[in-house]
């Protein structure tokens, strides 16, 4: 399993095309895209728009540390989206995207957050379900 | 937007001089910059005035004031903040200006040390820092500071917290970009202690470190810890040659 992920990461790094790599669903309950959207735009829960931008007109201040999420559902399938959310370090070891569902190899995590992932398994599924709907790109 | 254009001008001016380093002030809005530049509008000047008063005031059983030993701060304290943190023989350790003030209280005034972020401590360090305004940062070259220099450099690159960021991830790699709407400065500590509009009060550089660490959901180091002094020394090295602005104003 680890080796498969590592190999996929290598292909990714070399060509920038990440087809075929990914992660199966974390729960048996399908994700809810509406809840996922709410998590993505929330500054405390998802934190996504601190770094990313995207078609979220109600969020006035969006980040520019990361690529736009617009059309991300067309670029990546659910398994690939899930892998990046769970632990982006598996795709890019130097990423600044926080590992949303891994507590491995973290340092000095504050007492309030120690041992807990940023998002629960079900929240990850919700966000994946929402991102998968983001297939459109404005002309 | 206008802030962006002005910041670009500043960037262009500094690049022309061959130095791409920018004070945090360059990333602020024109309003905040104007407030900092005008001594009559800069709320940090109240701390300078209060510090000047405390400089003359006796403290502790000794009945001595800072002025009693150091005289006119405009002369004796000029350039001091520019070379701190420095090596203290007696404790055989690096100390910052805050620790120095408290060492003077305990060793020479027979007074209790002031707690972290105490308004009196901030006033005194702001007053002392202000005596170096306009001077270039010139870190203490004492070789005995080397362990602190190395620890600071290492900590600056260490990922920390649930969000797994290092200081360098933001201040070296992403300075000038925006976290939500907030510009990320290069993290040069040229204007500390600062007046922060959001707090309606002064704050030390270590309070800034704590904010950055809590922001990435890390356990902050303690006030006065070896780690924070080491980060201060590393930032002094990183900002060597840049101009001191104390007291700076931040949003």
With a CB cutoff of 8 Å and minimum separation 6, the contacts of B213 are A108, B160, B161, B219, B220, B221
What's the pLDDT score for residue A7?
Answer: 42
Q: Each residue of A83-133: pLDDT tens digit?
A: 999 999 999 999 999 999 999 999 999 999 999 999 999 999 999 999 999
Looking at the partner chain, which of A50, A107, A109 has a beta carbon nearest the beta carbon of B180?
A50
Residue pair B66/B104 in contact by the 8 Å Cβ criterion:
yes
Tabulate helix, strand, coil % of chain B (nearest 5): 45, 10, 40
Q: Shortest Cα distance from B191 to chain A (angstroms)?
A: 26
- Tell me the chain A residues in contact with residue B166 when contact means C-beta distances shorter than 8 Å: none
Which of B155, B162, B168, B215 to mutate: most A Cβ within 10 Å? B162
Same fold yes or no, B45-130 and B137-250: yes
Indicate which residues of B carry an active-site annotation: 212
pLDDT per residue of chain B (251 residues) written in tens, 0 to 9: 344 444 444 554 455 567 889 999 999 999 999 999 999 999 999 999 999 999 999 998 999 999 999 999 999 999 999 999 999 999 999 999 999 999 999 999 999 999 999 999 999 999 999 999 999 999 999 999 999 999 999 999 999 999 999 999 999 999 999 999 899 999 999 999 999 999 999 999 999 999 999 999 999 999 999 999 999 999 999 999 999 999 999 99
Written out in words, the top-level CATH class of the domain with range B137-250 is mainly alpha
How far is residue A87's CA from residue B27's CA, in Å, rounded to a whole number? 32
Instruction: Show me where the domains of chain B are located.
Output: 45-130, 137-250
Looking at the partner chain, which of A61, A96, A113 has a beta carbon nearest the beta carbon of B162?
A113
Domain B45-130, CATH 1.10.760.10 — does that match?
yes
* Count of C-beta atoms within a 10 Å radius of residue A28: 6
Instruction: Show me where the domains of chain A are located.
Output: 2-133
Of all residues in chain A, the one with the smallest CA distance to B161 is: A109
Of all residues in chain B, the one with the smallest CA distance to A107 is: B160
Fold type of domain A2-133: Cytochrome Bc1 Complex; Chain D, domain 2 (1.10.760)
Q: Does the beta-carbon distance from B162 to A98 stay under 8 Å?
A: yes
Quick check: A14 contacting B, CB < 8 Å? no
Prediction ipTM score: 0.88
Q: Does the beta-carbon distance from B164 to A106 stay under 8 Å?
A: yes
């Amino acid at each position: 399993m680890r080796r498969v992920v590592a190999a996929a990461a290598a292909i990714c790094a070399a060509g920038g095309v990440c087809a075929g790599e990914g992660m199966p669903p974390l729960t048996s309950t399908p994700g809810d895209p509406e809840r996922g959207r709410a998590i993505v735009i929330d500054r405390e829960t998802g934190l996504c728009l601190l770094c990313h931008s995207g078609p979220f007109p109600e969020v006035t201040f969006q980040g520019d540390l990361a690529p736009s999420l617009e059309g991300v559902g067309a670029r990546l399938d659910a398994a690939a989206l899930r892998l990046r959310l769970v632990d982006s370090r598996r795709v890019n070891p130097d990423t600044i995207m926080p590992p949303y569902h891994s507590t491995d190899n973290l340092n000095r995590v504050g007492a309030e957050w120690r041992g807990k992932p940023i998002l629960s398994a079900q929240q990850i599924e919700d966000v994946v379900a929402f991102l998968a709907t983001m297939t459109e790109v404005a002309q | 937007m206008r802030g962006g254009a002005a910041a670009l001008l500043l960037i262009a001016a500094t690049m022309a001089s061959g130095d791409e380093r920018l004070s945090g002030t360059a990333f602020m809005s024109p309003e905040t910059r104007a407030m900092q530049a005008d001594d009559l509008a800069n709320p940090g000047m109240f701390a300078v005035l209060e510090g000047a008063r405390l400089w003359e005031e006796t403290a502790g059983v000794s009945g001595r004031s800072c002025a009693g030993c150091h005289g006119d701060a405009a002369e004796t304290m000029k350039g001091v903040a520019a070379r701190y943190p420095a090596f203290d023989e007696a404790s055989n350790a690096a100390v910052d200006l805050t620790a120095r003030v408290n060492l003077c209280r305990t060793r020479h005034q027979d007074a209790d040390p002031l707690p972290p972020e105490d308004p009196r401590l901030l006033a005194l360090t702001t007053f002392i820092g202000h005596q170096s305004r306009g001077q270039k940062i010139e870190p203490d070259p004492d070789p005995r500071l080397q362990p602190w220099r190395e620890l600071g450099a290492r900590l600056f690159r260490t990922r920390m917290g649930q969000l797994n960021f290092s200081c360098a991830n933001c201040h070296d790699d992403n300075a000038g970009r925006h976290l939500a709407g907030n510009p990320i400065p290069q993290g040069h500590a040229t204007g500390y202690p600062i007046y922060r509009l959001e707090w309606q009060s002064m704050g030390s550089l270590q309070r800034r470190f704590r904010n950055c660490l809590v922001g990435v959901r890390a356990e902050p180091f303690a006030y006065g810890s070896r780690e924070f002094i080491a980060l201060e020394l590393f930032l002094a090295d990183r900002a060597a040659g840049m101009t001191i602005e104390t007291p700076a104003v931040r949003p």
